[in-house]
């Protein structure tokens, strides 16, 4: 029976991975560490499984006498407006977080890390294979995220080299889906939440920058298969994403068609916004045969839109309930 620690387990991807973990019969206990910076307890509010424990704490400060068979380090904001506001906190969460969590792993345990396609920066080759060394400005406004992910990869691969640490490292390309924050700030969730409120979608730059939009269910399926597998010759870095490259403007246009009456407004480009992003999935095909990111963005966007609508309706109903109660008093 395994004890598993998930840092960032109340976040968008983290909470989906916790759901997946709780489906495993060999898991005795799941401890989530989250400081609720970008995560939310609401993301795990549906869980009624006595194996789940949540500790509200910074990952770099978390202390316990427990030792874990598996540590999954996901704690970090992943959206530029969030990480650009508090860059040092991002570095602490990733790098100091990893150093701290290493101490909580039992000898022989496994350390899984969600790195990012941002390690490739604004890539000069497309699609990006894992061997591509990237084009990151380590003094730029996105560097706290990009470089702390790169440094944490270094820390883990070097631990593997010098002490045989069992690691799994994935590089996640743009993921989206239910449980993204309405104020997350990344394209898909931003467009949907704008379409449902101000009805004005803001596209930065000309919108021709491309991304590879991976729907959350597909992404989590890949993580589960890679992280839970014992016999694993290749331990990373592994690109995880949808390799259908779509422009930001195409996604925005698609959403305006789903919601008549919404419009697109162009805004100045975001500093050092990558011009393109597409995973080379050659290694993935070998390591996880049969896995594909097969939810097309048209379908993923529809599901995400439905989820956002329900969330907004629930929030409005809660506000009305509180107002009615106050009136009644």
Of the residues 83, 145, 176, 297, only one is catalytic, namely 145
> 155 vs 172, which CB is nearer to a second copy?
155
Distance of CA 297 to the CA centre of its chain: 17
Q: Taking the complex as a whole, how short is the minimal distance between the CB of residue 81 and a second copy, in angstroms?
A: 13
> 151 vs 259, which CB is nearer to a second copy?
151
Q: Taking the complex as a whole, how short is the minimal distance between the CB of residue 215 and a second copy, in angstroms?
A: 27
3-state secondary structure the chain: CEEEEEECCCCHHHHHHHHHHCCCCCEEEEEEEECCCCCCHHHHCCCCCCCEEEEECCCCCCCCCCCEEEEEECCCCCCHHHHHHCHHHHHHHHHHHHHHHHCCEEEEEEEEEEEEHHHHECCCCCCECCCCCCECCCCCCCHHHHHHHHHHHHHHHHHHHHHCCEEEEEEECCEECCCCCCCCCCHHHHHHHHHHCCCEEEEECCCCCEEECEEHHHHHHHHHHHHCCCCCCCCCCEEECCCCEEEHHHHHHHHHHHCCCCEEEEECCCCCCCCCCCECCHHHHHHCCCCCCCCCHHHHHHHHHHHHHHHHHHHHHHHHHHHHHHHHC
Phi, psi for residue 112 in degrees, rounded to 5: -110, 140
Respond yes or no: is residue 145 known to be catalytic: yes
> 69 vs 147, which CB is nearer to a second copy?
147
Q: Taking the complex as a whole, how short is the minimal distance between the CB of residue 102 and a second copy, in angstroms?
A: 8
Q: Taking the complex as a whole, how short is the minimal distance between the CB of residue 87 and a second copy, in angstroms?
A: 4
> 161 vs 325, which CB is nearer to a second copy?
161
> 269 vs 296, which CB is nearer to a second copy?
269
Q: Taking the complex as a whole, how short is the minimal distance between the CB of residue 64 and a second copy, in angstroms?
A: 20
- Could you tell me which of 29, 37, 26, 22 has the C-alpha nearest to residue 5? 29
Would strands 2-7 and 68-73 be described as parallel, antiparallel, or unpaired?
Answer: parallel
> 158 vs 324, which CB is nearer to a second copy?
158
Q: Taking the complex as a whole, how short is the minimal distance between the CB of residue 141 and a second copy, in angstroms?
A: 6
Q: How far apart are CA 38 and CA 41, in angstroms?
A: 10
Residues that bind a second copy (CB under 8 A): 85-88, 91-92, 95-96, 99, 102, 119, 121, 133-141, 143-144, 146-148, 150-151, 153-155, 157-159, 161-162, 169, 236-237
Catalytic residues: 145
């Amino acid at each position: 029976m395994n004890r598993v620690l998930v840092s960032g387990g109340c976040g968008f991807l983290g909470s989906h991975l916790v759901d997946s973990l709780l489906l495993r019969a060999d898991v005795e206990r799941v401890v989530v560490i989250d400081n609720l910076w970008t995560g939310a307890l609401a993301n795990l509010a549906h869980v009624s499984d006595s194996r789940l424990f949540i500790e509200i704490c910074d990952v770099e400060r978390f202390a316990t006498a427990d030792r874990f068979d598996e540590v999954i380090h996901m704690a970090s904001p992943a959206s530029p407006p969030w990480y650009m506001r508090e860059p040092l906190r991002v570095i602490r969460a990733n790098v100091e977080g990893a150093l701290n969590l290493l101490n909580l792993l039992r000898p022989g345990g496994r350390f899984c890390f969600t790195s990012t396609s941002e390690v490739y920066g604004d890539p000069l080759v497309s699609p990006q294979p894992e061997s591509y060394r990237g084009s990151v400005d380590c003094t730029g406004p996105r560097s706290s995220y990009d470089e702390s992910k790169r440094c944490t990869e270094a820390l883990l691969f070097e631990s593997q080299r010098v002490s045989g640490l069992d690691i799994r490292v994935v590089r996640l390309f743009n993921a989206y889906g239910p449980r993204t924050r309405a104020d997350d700030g990344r394209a898909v969730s931003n467009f949907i939440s704008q379409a449902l409120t101000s009805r004005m979608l803001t596209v930065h730059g000309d919108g021709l920058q491309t991304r590879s939009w991976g729907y959350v269910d597909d992404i989590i399926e890949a993580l589960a298969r890679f992280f839970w597998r014992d016999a694993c010759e290749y331990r990373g870095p592994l690109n995880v994403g949808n390799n259908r490259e779509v422009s930001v403007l195409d996604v925005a246009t698609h959403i305006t068609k789903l919601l008549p009456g919404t419009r697109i407004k162009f805004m100045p480009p975001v500093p050092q916004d990558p011009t393109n992003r597409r995973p080379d999935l050659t290694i993935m095909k070998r390591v996880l045969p049969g896995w594909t990111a097969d939810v097309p963005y048209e379908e993923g966007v529809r599901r995400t839109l439905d989820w956002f609508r329900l969330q907004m309706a629930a929030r409005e109903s809660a506000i009305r309930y509180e107002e009615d109660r106050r009136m009644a008093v």
